[in-house]
Amino acid sequence: MSTDVGSPVLNIAVFGLFVLATLVMVAKVNRRQATANDYFTAGGAFGGGKNGLALSGDFLSAASFLGIAGAIAIHGYDGFLYSIGFLVAWLVNLLLIAELVRNTGRFTMGDVLSYRMRARPVRAAAATSTLVISFFYMLAQMAGAGGVVALLLGVHSGEGQAVVITVVGVVMMLYVLVGGMRGTTWVQIVKAAILVLCVALMTVFLLGKFGFDLSALLEQAAANNVRGEKILDPGGMFGQSGTSKLDFVSLALALVLGAASLPHVLMRFYTVPNAVQARRSVIWAVCTMTVFYLATLVIGYGASALVGSDRILAATGGENSAAPLLAFEIGGTLLLGIVSAVAFATILAVVAGLTLTASASFAHDVYANIFKRGRANPRSEVRVARLTAVVVGALAIAGGILANGQNVAFLVGLAFAFAASANLSTLLYSLFWKRFNTSGTLWGMYGGLVSCLTLVAFSPVVSGSPGSIFPGVDFVWFPLSNPGIVSIPVSFILGFLGTVLSCDRGDERKQAEMEVRSLTGLGS
């Protein structure tokens, strides 16, 4: 295996250099952060271009860089469907969410949902949803960390990978505690720029090995894959049975509808000064991610062509090792070291953003507005956020150790299902339905969240198959790996029923005020 991973010393050195440089940068851009506005949203000081890059850095996770490339390398065409789902999802943000959320809220999703509802129960529901979604998303990133480190450093034991996941989690907490939103945003900007540059260079180098003939690359990929030419056709992952086809529809729904309701994505819209910059952020993010996802298609098939599916699956990281193994194949030890640093940077930046969002939701929605009833001292609010970040980071480390070895793109698909199930219906109803009330909000959020959790708990994700989290037991009764096709409609239906069956007619004055504010930005 040592010949596969290049020089562990160089890999550690490059990653250490990145961490040191970014920590210094975070310390320099960090200000006193005496107010919650500074810590949670960087004072809304970022323009559309910078925030768009930060959105890309926040969104392009280990699932994008490691999971999708691995899925394409092993399964072919169907692996690219993740990329399509992630990219199309941003149209929902662009057309329906970004500007309205920026105008209506202040720090968190709970600000939007509670604007014209009874604040305390709705904020409690929003915080619960945010914490659950952030935890599942962090599972994917930390699992990716374990797989990449196992490959790059030759750490094969579960105990050794657990130690490395712990180190990654501690560094991530340092970003959040020291830098707040301002420092975390700059880490994400730098990471996005390096990541896109890295995949673009890998794509050029890879195509150069085949004389810039994509057909030749695809032919070699088919020849070096156990599935042969079938990797060029649909059906490698989804389509082998009726259940798998339905699972694909469920996954597609989760991916397309989930991005618009991810709490850490929504929070990024508050770091810009106005709604115009929020829209520009989304446009910049879409352009950046289009380049990235097109590159992953070439990288995935390139890994199949030059590394081979057998060698990828035999590597310690499994599917997640495709991109690093390809980097070593086309650029040797140095390029592998650079790619390893980029992979680590990807995980660190995304988990830092998730941790900041989870801690902000607890501090702002629960502590400041439920416990303190809106009268919390800004310094104490920031202090609670930092303490929450430590707790969330510890839970992420524990969950990452448990989920180590799972395909990270698959785990992120679950996080998207949770987001779409719990948040999307209530966000859209709050912004566009005058009759919507507190009961509908609570029914929709808790109903979507509980239905999604229940279906996942009794699905092949948790038990009943060799790839499950607990492969030794079997309590499966829900056949699909992604529950979105059931839990997302359940959320919309329950939100509707909770509203129409309630005697609460809502606050018409606050509804009119919210509508004007969301569309014009007046008072935001």
Q: What's the confidence (pLDDT) of residue 255?
A: 83
What is the separation, in whole angstroms, between the first and last Cα of the chain?
56
Q: What's the confidence (pLDDT) of residue 3?
A: 42
284: CB partners within 8 A, 6+ apart:
48, 49, 51, 52, 53, 55, 56
3-state secondary structure of 11: helix
To which residue do tokens 């649909």 refer?
Answer: 234
| Tokens matching residue 522 | 């007046």
Distance CA 502, CA 436 (A): 10
**pLDDT tens digits, residue range 165-215?**
787 778 777 777 776 778 778 888 888 888 888 889 889 988 888 888 888
Count each helix (H run) and each strand (E run) in the chain, helices first. 23, 0
Q: What's the confidence (pLDDT) of residue 109?
A: 84
Distance CA 470, CA 97 (A): 37
Report in angstroms the alpha-carbon separations of 88 from 44, 202, 255, 516: 27, 24, 9, 29
Residue 211 burial (C-beta neighbours within 10 Å; 0-12, 13-18, 19+): exposed
Ranges of residues in the chain with a pLDDT under 70 are 1-7, 30-35, 62-63, 144-154, 156, 158, 179, 236, 239-243, 316-317, 403-410, 467, 469, 523-524
Q: What's the confidence (pLDDT) of residue 490?
A: 94
Distance CA 455, CA 390 (A): 30
* DSSP character string of 412-431: HHHHHHHHIIIIIHHHHHHH
Residue type for 444, please? G
Report in angstroms the alpha-carbon separations of 316 from 175, 312, 470: 28, 9, 19
Distance CA 97, CA 261 (A): 9
Gyration radius (Cα) of the chain, Å = 22
Q: What's the confidence (pLDDT) of residue 472?
A: 76
Distance CA 63, CA 137 (A): 10
Q: What's the confidence (pLDDT) of residue 2?
A: 41
Distance CA 115, CA 87 (A): 30
Residue 302 Cα to chain centre, angstroms: 25
Residue 269 Cα to chain centre, angstroms: 16
Distance CA 478, CA 481 (A): 8
